[in-house]
Structure 1
Amino acid sequence: MQRTERLFALAEYLRGRRTGVTAEVLAERFGVTVRTIYRDLDSLRASSMPVSAERGRGGGYALDRSYSLPPVNFTAREAALVVALGRFAIDMRLMPFAGTLESALDKVRAALSTSAQRELLTRLRELAFIGVPSLPSKKPVREALERAWFEQQPLRITYVDSNFLETVRDVRVMSVIMNRHETRVDGEDLTTGERRHFRLDHITRAEVLRAAGP
């Protein structure tokens, strides 16, 4: 697990606990030394995350539970539209970040009361979208693209062009462009400085790289 990924996981782990946790327990959980955990906790504090140390029984390091999105109260009507459009994006393969979108839709559904969930199911049965799905792409490629884009890290891709020529390129993802039939990655080639579009379904492999230091 890379450090950036571990920092995200560490913050989520602390957020999900009702009591504090010691640095030793965190080190064992994430497979690093206690010294590394102390550095990670300092990094979280430096990024304005409210990490504090609690003393006494059940003490340890904890993240203020208020550090999260504020509660969002969806009506069944609002939730139905959000879920329906999200499902459409997944089914049509428009969004390369399908796993993250699925997780978000689950949270929208879970936030509703039982009666609102029943109404949501009724409304969803009355909504239908018809379209031609975008060309399929590989799940590991989509996952690497998501990490590179959200974490602003360079991405090494193996790309097969329309002439079936395979090349390996290191790119910085500038944007992701979706239309009815394909998803394109707008990337800057880190070797040539050239900016061009890469069809997601033509990327056979992708690997997130560490950003170069100053």
Structure 2
Amino acid sequence: MRRADRLFLIIHALRGRRVALPARSLAETLGVSLRTIYRDVADLQVSGVPIEGEAGVGYVLRKGADIPPLMFSAAELEALVVGTRFVRAFGGERLGLAARAALLKIEAVLPSDLRERSRHTRIFAPGMPGRHEARGPVDRLHAAIEARALLQLDYRDGEGRITAREVEPLCLAFWGGAWTLGAWCRMREGFRNFRPDRIATLRETGATFADCRERGLDAYLRSTCIDGRVD
């Protein structure tokens, strides 16, 4: 478990308690040593979290200083739930697991009425075992984008012809039915979009590429008129 996740769970475990929670109980729940709990609580106190207590006695959040729950409208909460379901269905295994973990953290600090409501939205995005997202290319392409890893593709066009390409992967875009990989194609010497479901083979070359202004992400977005801003 990441330390950031552990700190979050310690705060959540102390929320709303009227009696001190022993450090040993926290250690057993989180699967860590008592020393780790003592250190984590001390760090939280130094950072301003109003935790009172001491080793051997237990810990509580100071009365009147409980951390307020996240507040969402019903529509906002439904958007989060539905978005998580779509990411789990279409975003590949890596993002799917992260989306599930994020939603669990959100639900952990919601008031009970909103938590119950989040479980009853009727918009679904069922996962399909045979869908190409479940077979791994989206995860591999995502990792290559982050690492700026030069890739070799055997790519099948719309008529089934295969060509070998060496590409610098820049971004992934989902169009509501298909993914595309935005990349600089060294063979064509220009930006190209590749559909992951048409990649016959995908190989990491072991080489990386530099973030070049003329053929980097910003230049790609301008060439395709995609708005890459995050508002």
Band of TM-score, shorter chain? 0.5 to 0.7
Which residue is equivalent to 2:179? 183
The correspondence of residues 13-162 of structure 1 with structure 2, limited to 5 A, is 74-75=70-71, 77=73, 78-91=76-89, 93=90, 95=91, 97-113=92-108, 116=111, 119-128=114-123, 136-137=131-132, 139-162=135-158
Q: Which has the higher contact order (CA 8 A, sep 6+)?
A: 1
Deviation of 1:163 after TM superposition, in Å, equals 1.6
- Which whole-Å CA distance do the structure 1 matches of 2:193 and 2:68 have between them? 36
CA contact (8 A) 1:155 1:173 kept: yes
1:210 and 1:143 mapped to 2: Cα distance? 17
> What fraction of aligned residue pairs are identical, expressed as a percent?
15
Local SS of the residue matching 1:126: coil
2:204 to 198, 208, 212: 208
Task: Give the direction of change, closer, same or farther, for the CA distance of 1:76–1:105 in structure 2 (3 Å limit).
Answer: farther
**Cα displacement (A) at 1:111:** 4.7
**Per the alignment, in what secondary structure is the counterpart of residue 84 of structure 2?**
helix
Amino acid in structure 1 at the alignment position of 2:159: N
Structure 1: runs of 5 or more not aligned = 1-11, 19-56, 59-64
For the 8 Å contact 2:88–2:95, the answer to whether it is kept is no
**Aligned structure 1 segments of 4 or more residues deviating by more than 6 angstroms:** 12-18
How many aligned residue pairs are there? 150
Change (3 A) 1:115 1:99: same
Q: Assess if the C-alpha contact under 8 Å between 1:157 and 1:168 holds in 2.
A: yes
Matched-pair contact (CA < 8 Å) for 1:144–1:208? no
| Corresponding position of 2:192 | 196
Give deviations 1:136-173, integer Å, cap 9, x for gaps: 32523222101011222222222111121122322112
- In 2: Cα distance, 1:173 partner to 1:164 partner: 22
For residue 83 of structure 1, what is the amino acid of its counterpart? V
Task: Label 1:105 to 1:90 Cα distance change in 2 as closer, same or farther (>3 A).
Answer: closer
Unaligned runs of 5+ in 2: 8-34, 37-42, 45-66, 211-231
2:173–2:182 Cα contact (<8 Å) kept: yes
Tell me how far apart the structure 1 counterparts of residues 149 and 88 of structure 2 sit (CA, whole Å): 25
The normalised TM-score by structure 1 is 0.53
Deviation at 1:105, TM superposition (A): 2.8
2:68 and 2:163 mapped to 1: Cα distance?
46
For the residues of structure 1 that align with 2:174 and 2:182, how far apart are their CA atoms? 11
| Aligned alpha-carbon RMSD (Å) | 4.0
